[in-house]
Amino acid sequence: MGEKYQGEFYCVKCKEKRETEGDVVVANDRRMAKGICPVCGTKLNRILGKA
């Protein structure tokens, strides 16, 4: 089971911060959380820091 991130993401489509949960992945030696906006369904990304 992968790591989860619970917190705020910025939705580019809604132009607001949304509270949701996402999976943590490593891309280009950086930890990123990927989730889905609970309002509009757009994919959300948040850079967490280096792995």
CA distance 43 to 35: 6
Q: Which of 50, 2, 13, 15 is CA-nearest to residue 30?
A: 50
**pLDDT tens digits along 2-24:** 899 999 999 999 999 999 999 99
pLDDT at 36: 97
- Give the long-range contacts of residues 14-21, CB within 8 A, separation 24 or more: 14/39, 14/40, 14/42, 18/44, 20/44
pLDDT at 1: 66
- 12, 17, 40, 50 from 24: Cα distances, Å: 19, 18, 21, 12
The structure's pTM equals: 0.81
